Amino acid sequence: MITARDIQVRIGKKPILHGVDFVAKPGEVTAIVGPNGSGKTTLLRALTDEIVWTGQVQINGRDIGAYKTWDLAAVRAVLPQAATLAFPFTVIEVVRMGLRSGIHGDRDIVAQRALAMVGLGGYEQRFFQELSGGEQQRAHLARVLCQVWDPVVDGVPRWMLLDEPVASLDIGHQLLIMRCLEDFAKRGGGVIAVMHDLNLTAMVADMVTIISDGRVIASGPVKEVFTDASLSAAYHCQLRANTIPDDHAAFILPQVAQSVVSLRGEAITVAG
C-alpha cells in the first residue's frame, strides 16, 4: 500500500497542493489524471520525497522518512517527467544503472529482457543520446523495470511511480508499455502512473484519482470516477464518458468534437 494523507505543498508563497489524500494498492494500476499544472507531478514528487511537503506518506505501512535512501530504492522506482543524461552512455549502460545488487539470476540478462519488454531489443549498444524522444523514454522505462524487476520480494510488493510514461509514444508502443504495467501489477507489484490519455487510462487503470487545481476531485474505480460531471469539472470543458458495449471499457469524448467526428465517419458511431 502507498498511502498519502493531507499532502500540502507550497512553492515559494504559492500553494500547489491543498491537502491531497491518495491511496494505491499493490496488484493494481492507479492512475493520476488532471489538467496541466494541476499538481500531478508535484504529488508524485511528494510521494517520492523529492520536494518539501507536509502530511504523511507511507509505503508498505512505513513512513517514507523512516526509510534509508538505499532501502527506499529497493521498494520503488521512479520515472520522472523529463530525464537528462550527461556523458555518452550506451542504452544498455543506462538500463544497467537501474540494476541493484541482490537481483536474482544473471543481471545482464535482466537488463536485456527489460529492453526487449519495452520494444528496444537490439538497441543495447546504441548511444542513448542518439535515440529518438520516444525511444529514450522507453529506455528510461527499461531502467525503471530493472530496478523493481521482481514485483514482490519476500512478500513485500514493489512500486513503480511513473510521470507520464507514455507521453511521447506512438499508439502501438503506448499499448505495449501499458500492458507491461498491467502485467507488473498482475504479478503483485504496484503501479502509480500520471496520465493524460483518458481513454488509455480507462482501458488499463484499475483506480484513478482526478486532480484539479491542487485538490482531489474524485478518486476510486475508473468507472465510478470517470463521469461527465467530474471530468467536465476537472478539465473545464464539456466531456462525455461513454461505455463501449462489448468490453464495458469507458471511453471519453469531448462534446464539441463529437459532432465533428460524427460528421466525418462511422467508426466512432459504431463504437458508440
Ligand X SMILES: Nc1ncnc2c1ncn2[C@@H]1O[C@H](COP(=O)(O)OP(=O)(O)OP(=O)(O)O)[C@@H](O)[C@H]1O
Which residues in this chain contact other proteins in the complex, by CB under 8 A?
Answer: 48, 50, 68-74, 76-78, 80, 83-90, 92-94, 97-98, 100, 109, 112-113, 116-117, 121-122, 124-125, 147, 175-176, 179-180, 183
* Residue number, 114 or 195, with CB nearest to ligand X: 195
The distance of closest approach from Cβ of residue 157 to other proteins in the complex, given in angstroms and rounded to an integer, is 17
Minimal distance, residue 129 CB to other proteins, in Å: 11
CB atoms within 10 A of CB 133: 10
Residue with smaller CB distance to other proteins, 5 or 186: 186
Beta-ladder partners of 32? 194, 209
- Rank residues 111 and 210 by Cβ distance to other proteins and give the closer one: 111
Contact 184, 147 (CB under 8 A): no
- Per partner kind, with CB cut-offs from 5 to 8 A, the member of other proteins, ligand X, Mg ion, none near residue 238 is none
Q: Which does 201 bind (CB under 5 to 8 A by kind): ligand X, Mg ion, other proteins, none?
A: none
**Sign (positive or negative) of CA dihedral 226, 209, 234, 181:** negative
The CB-of-28 to other proteins minimum distance in angstroms stands at 19
* CB nearer to ligand X: pick between 83 and 260: 83
Residue 158, contacted partner among Mg ion, other proteins, ligand X, none, CB below 5-8 A by kind: none
Give min distance, CB of 124 to other proteins, in A. Answer: 7
Q: From residue 8 to residue 47, what is the string marking binding to ligand X with x (rule CB under 6 A)?
A: ---x----x-----------------x-xxxxxxx-----
Only one residue has cell 545488487, namely: 101
Smallest distance from the beta carbon of 121 to other proteins, in angstroms?
A: 5
Q: How far apart, in Å, do the first and last CA atoms of the chain sit?
A: 36
Which of Mg ion, other proteins, ligand X, none is residue 78 near (CB under 5 to 8 Å by kind)?
other proteins
- Report the site for ligand X in 80-109 (rule: CB under 6 A): 81
Query: What's the grid cell of residue 3?
Result: 498511502
User: CB of residue 196 vs other proteins: minimum separation in angstroms?
Assistant: 21
Residues binding Mg ion (CB under 5 A): 41, 81
Query: Which of ligand X, other proteins, Mg ion, none has residue 37 at its interface (CB below 5 to 8 Å by kind)?
Result: ligand X
Beta bridge partners of 221: 207
Name the minimum Å distance from CB 256 to other proteins: 32
- Interacting residue ranges for ligand X, rule: CB under 6 A: 11, 16, 34, 36-42, 81
